[in-house]
Amino acid sequence: MGDNGVANEGSQARPTHWLKLTVAYDGAAYAGWQWQPSEPTVQGVLQDAWRSITHEEPCFTASGRTDAGVHAEGQVVGVETTSTIEPRRLLRGLNALLPDDVVIRAVEPAPVGFHATHDALRKTYRYQVLSGPVPPLFDRKHVWHWRAGQLDTERMGQGGAYLVGRHDFASLESTGSERSSTVRTITDLTVTSRPADGGERIDITVTGDGFLYNMVRTIAGTLVEVGRGAKPPEWVAEVLASRDRGRAGQTAPPQGLFLVRVEYA
């Protein structure tokens, strides 16, 4: 038995089965989820830990490829494996090997052929803004610090309501996406606030059946335009109808974005 508390396995052939991992991470130190040869990534450190325990070369599928600096509370990862190590021991062993900013929250059996990307029904993201004159200290890598005046969260919520439903979100997509369709359904969008760290913490929480490249960050940048009074709430509907990325607000910085949860059948 190794130092991680998981017994090493032999190389004999075993039946294949699928597992579902729920992963949380602070993305500040990583160049995103997806493995890169010369940059630290969340997939990279997870693959290293998996190899050490199972002696397999894993083929992970993730519910979404978060970008550099983006965080997750409930990223879902699927893996096909022949390992006979029971899930609770895999959970303990992986967490013993992973760095402090990556945590496996659950390891569960998954249906045959489980694919974390294609099988996802809904995803929820949260974008965090800290509005106030004093820079955040402890949350500096987890919020967009907005220091250019107070944001009106009621108006932001009114603007966000225009995005709920099934729409073509081409105007809220950054270039570089490989998606064949820009039509998506947002089922819920809320804007809430509370006092925090010398200012006001504003959370923009969005649930939908899928998201385009940088879509949530562009939603945040667009709603901030409404919140600061530069645009009326109904301008969001005009942006949506235009299908023109140049009409929307800026792409908010990555550190404020969290993948909260992913739902499956």
Where residue 19 falls (left for φ over 0; alpha for ψ -120 to 50; beta otherwise) is beta
pLDDT digits (tens, 9 = 90+) for 242-251: 999 999 999 9
Residues 106 and 131 reside in one and the same domain: no
Residues 103 and 143 in one domain: no
Tell me how far apart the alpha carbons of residues 88 and 142 are, in angstroms, rounded to a whole number: 30
Residues 259 and 144 in one domain: yes
Q: Are residues 226 and 133 in the same domain?
A: yes
More confident residue, 130 or 8: 130
- pLDDT at residue 9 greater than cutoff 60: no
**Mean per-residue pLDDT of the chain:** 94
Per-residue pLDDT, averaged over 96-110, amounts to: 98
Co-location of 79 and 163 in the same domain: no
Q: What is the pLDDT of residue 164?
A: 98
pLDDT in the model for residue 18: 97
**CA distances (Å), 109 to each of 81, 187, 209, 261, in order?**
11, 28, 23, 18
98 and 132 share one domain: no
248 located within any domain:
yes
Same domain, yes or no: 250 and 130: yes
* pLDDT tens per residue across span 185-230: 999 999 999 999 779 999 999 999 999 999 999 999 999 999 999 9
Query: Which pLDDT score, from 0 to 100, does residue 1 have?
Result: 45
Residue 132 or residue 3, greater confidence: 132
Residues 82 and 164 in one domain: no
How much is the pLDDT for 10?
Answer: 47
Does residue 63 belong to any structural domain of this protein? yes
- Tell me whether residue 101 is one of the annotated catalytic residues: no
Residue 88 lies in a domain: yes
For residue 12, what pLDDT band results from cuts at 50, 70 and 90? low
Residue 161 and residue 194 in one domain: yes
At 106-129, the pLDDT tens digits run 999 999 999 999 999 999 999 999
Angle, CA 108 vertex, CA 84 and CA 40 arms, to 5°: 90
Which pLDDT score is estimated for 4?
53
Asked whether residue 65 carries a pLDDT value surpassing 70, the answer given is yes
Residues belonging to the binding site are: 125
Q: Do 244 and 126 fall within a single domain? A: yes
pLDDT at 19 > cutoff 60: yes
The three-state secondary structure class of 253 is coil
Using a cut of 0.95, tell me whether the model's pTM lies above it. Answer: no
Which segments are annotated as binding site for substrate?
A: 125
pLDDT score, position 6: 54
Q: Does residue 2 sit within a domain?
A: no
pLDDT at 176 (0 to 100): 66
Reported confidence tier of residue 148, pLDDT bands at 50, 70, 90:
confident
Question: What one-letter code names the amino acid at 55?
Answer: H
Catalytic: which of 67, 101, 152, 197? 67
* 117 found inside a domain: no
Residues 160 and 99 in one domain: no
Question: What's the structural domain count of the chain?
Answer: 2
| Per-residue pLDDT tens over the stretch 21-49 | 999 999 999 999 999 999 999 999 999 99
- Give the tokens for residue 37: 């040869």
Cβ atoms of 249 and 224 within 8 Å: the answer is yes
Structural domain boundaries enclosing 209: 122-263
CATH number at residue 51: 3.30.70.580
CA angle 138, 144, 149 (to 5 degrees): 110
3-state helix, strand, coil in the chain (%, to 5): 25, 30, 45
Pair (94, 140) in one structural domain: no
Query: What is the phi/psi pair of residue 5, to 5°?
Result: 85, 10
Q: What pLDDT score was predicted for residue 7?
A: 46
